[in-house]
């Protein structure tokens, strides 16, 4: 992972989070909406554009393809994806920790 990979966009962060277990596009969208209480909604263009980019970076892989239902694909996070996700989680935690340190100063 390179430092230039951070920060992640909010959409990418949530897509990686949703892919800790195999999931398809609609499932990712539903999980992200549920996690954020509807604050973050992923449009099809955003979702599938991000999926293509994440596959090219090697952060997610195709888990399975259901040939019965219009070739619906399930995706899963890779080890490289887990590493970049964890680096972003640590970065975000540092931001929160520093904000708490500055409260009341």
Q: Which residue's structure tokens are 């949703």? A: 18
What is the β-pairing status of strands 60-66 and 23-24?
unpaired
Quote the pTM value: 0.91
For the chain, the domain total comes to 1
Range of the domain at 57: 9-102
Instruction: Look at residue 17 and tell me if it is in a domain.
Output: yes
Evaluate whether residue 2 is within a structural domain: no
pLDDT digits (tens, 9 = 90+) for 23-75: 999 999 999 999 999 999 999 999 999 999 999 999 999 999 887 777 789 99
Question: Once rounded to an integer, what is the mean pLDDT over residues 15-25?
Answer: 97
34 lies in some domain: yes
Which pLDDT score, from 0 to 100, does residue 71 have?
Answer: 74
pLDDT recorded at residue 51:
97
> Of 22, 3, 76, 10, whose CA–CA distance to 46 is shortest?
10
CATH of the domain at 70: 1.10.10.10
Least confident among 1-5, 22-26, 64-68, 94-98: 1-5
Query: CA 80 → CA 23, 41, 44, 45, distances in Å?
Result: 18, 25, 24, 24
Give per-residue burial for 41-74: e unless 16+ CB within 10 Å, then b. ebeeeebeebbeebeeeebbbeeeeeeeeeeeeb
Tell me the two tokens of residue 17.
Answer: 């989070």
- Does residue 39 fall inside a structural domain? yes
The answer to whether the CB of 43 falls within 8 A of the CB of 29 is no
Establish if 1 belongs to a structural domain: no
């Amino acid at each position: 992972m390179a430092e230039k990979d951070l920060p992640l966009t909010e959409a990418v962060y949530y897509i990686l989070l949703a892919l800790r277990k195999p999931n398809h596009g609609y499932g990712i969208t539903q999980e992200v909406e549920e996690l954020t209480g509807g604050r973050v909604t992923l449009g099809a263009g955003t979702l599938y554009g991000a999926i293509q980019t994440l596959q090219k970076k090697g952060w997610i892989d195709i888990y399975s393809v259901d040939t019965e239902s219009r070739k619906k694909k399930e995706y899963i996070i890779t080890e490289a994806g887990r590493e970049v996700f964890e680096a972003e989680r640590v970065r975000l935690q540092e931001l929160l920790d520093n904000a708490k340190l500055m409260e009341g100063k």
